[in-house]
Amino acid sequence: MVLVYFETYGCALNRADTALMMSLVCEKGYRISRHIEEADVIVVNTCTVRLDTELRMLRRLSYLYKRFGNSKKIVVAGCMAAAQPYTVKRVAPGAILLSPQNITKLAEVIESGTDALLGERDVSYLRPYVDGAIAAVPIAEGCIGDCSFCLTKLARRRLRSYKPGVIVKAVEEAVKSGAVEIELTAQDTGSYGLDLGDVRLPDLVREIVERVPGKYMLRIGMANPDTIAELIDDVVEVLNEPRVYKYVHIPLQSADDRILKIMRRKYTYDDFREIVRELRRKILGITIATDVIVGHPGEDEDAFQRTATAIVELQFDKVHIAQYTIRPRTLSAAMDQVPEHVKKSRSIALSKIVEEVGISINREYLNSMANVIVTHKSIRGSTMGRTINYKPVVLLNSNTGETIGSEHIARVIAATFYDLRGYLVDL
């Protein structure tokens, strides 16, 4: 019996890809091992979204190759295998490379020892990634963007959407295995179905809630402003569905139109603001998360201040701040770079603004009663719940065993800039 050990880095899409690879090799007679020492094959599902991530990956691959390269097969999968094959081969010359498009061929490449980097993803086969009561279901790979800073595009390539029937089956499977929160994930859920022709994201969500019975909540994963804008009326309608979290994650990246142009983002700040206002007009208490890149080439003080002002103006519940890092083979890599110390000080300044906005929003919940779904245990061991608008709630009087997946009422007694704390009052 051949034992396969998996190590996964990066986003929900990568975690779901690992789940798919695990189930496929099991169907082919392999067994999953949780212990690297006993394994015959090591699969590292890599991420290379930022320079610091790439360096961490290379350190890990170099260590694994030195330690196990002679005794075990090492498969390097994920975005780094597709976007930087030569960089991987430099630290692990004998590793087998498997691009995200070829994850369904893992068993074959283990047998043959040959790289699989070309070709398109087989979208007829899908498995959910289930971690306790939370699941991730990929709905598509790739995107229709070509953002100047992004290496993921080179790894995940063109848009490939799974058909609704395949996704519905994966959601059913996740619900049957106890998931109460299901994230529909992709690089850009807003572009879902553009390659299928007759179905888009709201149609998919409607089909899932109609065809999959059970107690669960859907979370719509990250969507780009330009692709969600054309769907906004239907997106509003499905976000008002009782089984859909009132939550959206729409990356702004910058609030300066000149920088958005340099980034090759397909919207202006006005377009973005209008989307936020429309969602807030039509969905009570919606939680809006965003991403911002600090220090992208071309960003001067004025451009940065526009982004800082936008955080306050649009009152985001959550902001992922990333300091721009050079990614190979991208347009931005060839541009004049913003000095590191400037990026750092802007990132610190923006984090302060994000915290101030976050705490002022979350303080509005103090002493309120919130309906929560108990979803998971945090890394610190606290029992966590989610409100209908996806606010994380630390449940101070609940022990995990009996409550995961159940719905309760919590009285909110404290707030931080990123979560709420409360007591369950109906235990």
Size of the site for ligand SF4 (CB under 6 A): 10
Structure tokens at 336: 């004049």
Nearest-angstrom CA–CA distance, 189 and 235 = 11
Q: Which stretch in 21-29, 143-151, 349-357, 380-388 sits in contact with ligand SF4 by CB under 6 A? A: 143-151
> How distant is the alpha carbon of residue 69 from its chain centre?
31
Nearest-angstrom CA–CA distance, 364 and 414 = 10
| DSSP-based helix, strand, coil % in the chain, nearest 5 | 40, 25, 35
Q: Which stretch in 35-43, 139-147, 167-175, 341-349 sits in contact with ligand SF4 by CB under 6 A? A: 139-147
Nearest 5°: the CA angle 230, 232, 237 is 140
Q: Shortest Cβ distance from residue 270 to ligand SF4 (Å)?
A: 20
- Per CB under 6 A, does 296 bind ligand SF4? no
- Per CB under 6 A, does 150 bind ligand SF4? yes
- What are the C-alpha distances in Å from 138 to residues 61, 159, 162? 26, 12, 8
Q: Shortest Cβ distance from residue 120 to ligand SF4 (Å)?
A: 17
Three-state SS letters, 332-368:
HHHCCCCCHHHHHHHHHHHHHHHHHHHHHHHHCCCCC
Structure tokens at 407: 């719905």
Q: Which stretch in 5-13, 28-36, 105-113, 141-149 sits in contact with ligand SF4 by CB under 6 A? A: 141-149
Question: Of 115 and 141, which has the nearer Cβ to ligand SF4?
Answer: 141
Q: Shortest Cβ distance from residue 80 to ligand SF4 (Å)?
A: 15
Question: Of 225 and 385, which has the nearer Cβ to ligand SF4?
Answer: 225
Q: Cβ distance 372 to 393 under 8 Å?
A: yes
- Cα dihedral sign for 342, 343, 344, 346? positive
**Residue 280 — φ and ψ, nearest 5°?**
-70, -35
Question: Of 297 and 385, which has the nearer Cβ to ligand SF4?
Answer: 297
**Residue 241 — φ and ψ, nearest 5°?**
-65, 140
Q: Which stretch in 55-63, 148-156, 240-248, 347-355 sits in contact with ligand SF4 by CB under 6 A? A: 148-156
Nearest-angstrom CA–CA distance, 396 and 128 = 30
Structure tokens at 101: 């498009």
- What are the C-alpha distances in Å from 142 to residues 94, 156, 157, 361? 28, 5, 5, 34
Residues in contact with 73: Cβ distance below 8 Å, sequence separation at least 6, in sequence order: 40, 41, 42, 96, 110, 113
Q: Shortest Cβ distance from residue 419 to ligand SF4 (Å)?
A: 27
- What are the C-alpha distances in Å from 6 to residues 19, 32, 314, 352? 10, 8, 41, 37
Q: Which stretch in 69-77, 82-90, 147-155, 202-210 sits in contact with ligand SF4 by CB under 6 A? A: 147-155
Q: Which stretch in 18-26, 38-46, 129-137, 145-153 sits in contact with ligand SF4 by CB under 6 A? A: 145-153
Q: Shortest Cβ distance from residue 265 to ligand SF4 (Å)?
A: 8
Question: Of 152 and 383, which has the nearer Cβ to ligand SF4?
Answer: 152
Question: Of 152 and 307, which has the nearer Cβ to ligand SF4?
Answer: 152
Question: Of 127 and 156, which has the nearer Cβ to ligand SF4?
Answer: 156
Question: Of 183 and 188, which has the nearer Cβ to ligand SF4?
Answer: 188
Question: Of 224 and 347, which has the nearer Cβ to ligand SF4?
Answer: 224
Interface residue with ligand SF4 among 224, 254, 307, 398 (CB under 6 A) is 224
Q: Cβ distance 383 to 343 under 8 Å?
A: no
Q: Shortest Cβ distance from residue 14 to ligand SF4 (Å)?
A: 13
Q: At what angle do helices 201-211 and 164-176 cross, to 10 degrees?
A: 40
Interface residue with ligand SF4 among 145, 221, 385, 392 (CB under 6 A) is 145
Query: What string marks each residue from 99 to 138 as x (binds ligand SF4 by CB under 6 A) or -?
Result: ----------------------------------------
- Comparing CA positions, the residue from 61, 23, 56, 16 lying closest to residue 42 is 61
Question: Of 221 and 392, which has the nearer Cβ to ligand SF4?
Answer: 221
Beta bridge partner(s), residue 365: none
Q: Which stretch in 122-130, 140-148, 161-169, 353-361 sits in contact with ligand SF4 by CB under 6 A? A: 140-148
Q: Shortest Cβ distance from residue 12 to ligand SF4 (Å)?
A: 13
Residue 374: its H or E element: strand 369-377
- Per CB under 6 A, does 143 bind ligand SF4? yes
Could you say which residues in the range 151-210 bind ligand SF4, by CB under 6 A?
Answer: 152-153, 187-188
Question: Of 50 and 363, which has the nearer Cβ to ligand SF4?
Answer: 50
> How distant is the alpha carbon of residue 337 from its chain centre?
27
Give contact residues for ligand SF4 (rule: CB under 6 A). 143, 145-147, 150, 152-153, 187-188, 224
